[in-house]
Amino acid sequence: MKRALLSVWDKTGIVDLARVLADNGVKILSSGGTGKALGEAGIGYTEVSAYTGSPEMMDGRVKTLHPKIHGGLLGRRGIDDAVMEEHGIEGIDLLAVNLYPFEMMTGKDLPLAELVEYIDIGGPAMIRAAAKNYRDVAVVVDPADYPAVADAVARGEFSPELRLDLAKKAFARTAVYDAAISNYLHGLDGLFPGVYTVQFGNGRVLRYGENPHQQAAVYGTEGIAAQVPLQGKQMSYNNYLDADAAVGLVREFNEPCAVIVKHNNPCGVAIGSSALEAYIAAREVDPVSAYGSVIAFNREIGAALAEEICATFVEVVIAPSFTDDGLEAMKTKENMRVLTLPEPIVADRIRSIDGGALVQRTPDYTESWEVVSDRDPDAKELQGLQLAWKVCKHTKSNTIIFADEHGVIGIGAGQMSRVDAAKIAIEKARRSLEGCSVASDAFLPFPDTLEVAAGAGATALVQPGGSIRDAEVIEAANRLNVAMIFTGIRYFRH
């Protein structure tokens, strides 16, 4: 390796890499702020403009766009040598570049004329040139790769595998960079861009998809998508789906809470004075369905809770942390997957459909709870309504949830008829529904669902409201002495 070109916006680690290059006799080309950082560290370099014989111009817009730069990156060793010699082009064997921070600057509400100055041109062009010629040029776009590159420089050898891996990463970086620019510009005239481009990394092949005859993979560097088990078997496609559902619901609660999910629907939810108390109560909602489930907690798991979990068959356990003896206790179920609850990620939700995709974004919003019945709910009823409403939000439509102030009692999920959802919830309940609260994810178009719920013992109900027959439903609530609240927000979940 004879020559390297360093031109980075993010200076993290660049001086250390340059020092390794210099110590191994590699000549360094640099420009602008990168050169200044090298000079301050006492590392010799040649200005790009001095090498090309062309000054930087147009406020720095043109500096590396020159045949001596791109020829040095693209020239095929052993093929283009004569042409390079004829034109005075020296080969560039290593390129370290990272780009103007366009993605970061879009969050600063800059005028478009100012923002476009953060669209890097020379950087992506050099990265693509070097990556195309990866057999002869090592290209590094991520400071996290500097140690591996420095080791290769010190050894005097870049393996073909490392070169190709760096090139893959380089093309991925320019792809996501261009996507950010495209999405921003296409979105100037509306909430969503006319062309929507996304990229997910960290791809891992799964054993199969929803069923064994289907193929699947998971992608993502954050949230549930990035999680790998602390113990247990590899996560499956369905495990990830259920884990996502469980985590979304458990995050709704501040109190110690346990959420049990089966087939993407909660089958047990409870709060308590401890995670252990919450789990036992949640499991008792539907112990048959809890068999082979995914469980999420919002509190640390210790030995006592771990032993209780291991008393039955559980596919996945998720919690923010685990005590040492808790992890040790769970080893008795060696196949049970144990995940750490990640920080929530605010991002668009994307679902594929035939020929394309649906994209959904949830902005900040406020529910407006309004008592519409003659009678206000009492304190216990209100607590039950609040809990049931949170569960409604994360259960497949149509859904009816019966709950008290401590947890769910009956769940009716994913029904075409709201009345049938109520009947299923009543049938699933393993204890009396007398005095409980009910939540409906969407408005009640007729009084029938309320009448079924009241007939089972419910005394309070929460729903979005907004039906043309609201007056009839309110009249029925008053006739049945049911306290009813409208929230103004619907929670369909398809």
Instruction: Indicate the residue type of 149.
Output: V
CA distance 132 to 342: 37
Counts of helices then strands in the chain (DSSP H, E): 19, 20
What residues contact residue 399 under an 8 Å CB cut-off, 6+ apart?
392, 411, 412, 413, 414, 415, 421, 440, 441, 493
Q: Mark whether 36 is an active-site residue.
A: no
Residues across the chain:
494
Instruction: Indicate the residue type of 180.
Output: A
Q: Mark whether 394 is an active-site residue.
A: no
Strands 265-271 and 257-262: antiparallel
Q: In whole angstroms, how far apart are CA 143 and each of 31, 126, 148, 151?
A: 18, 17, 10, 14
CA distance 465 to 445: 9
Q: State which H helix or E strand residue 174 sits in.
A: helix 160-186
The torsion of the CA quartet 177, 178, 179, 182, rounded to 10 degrees, works out to 130
Q: In whole angstroms, how far apart are CA 369 and each of 249, 377, 378?
A: 20, 12, 15
From the candidates 11, 186, 263, 380, which is the catalytic residue?
263
Q: Are 245 and 394 in contact (CB under 8 A)?
A: yes
CA distance 438 to 483: 10
From the candidates 132, 186, 233, 380, which is the catalytic residue?
132
Q: Which residues are bridge partners to 47 per DSSP?
A: 30
* Residues designated catalytic: 132, 263
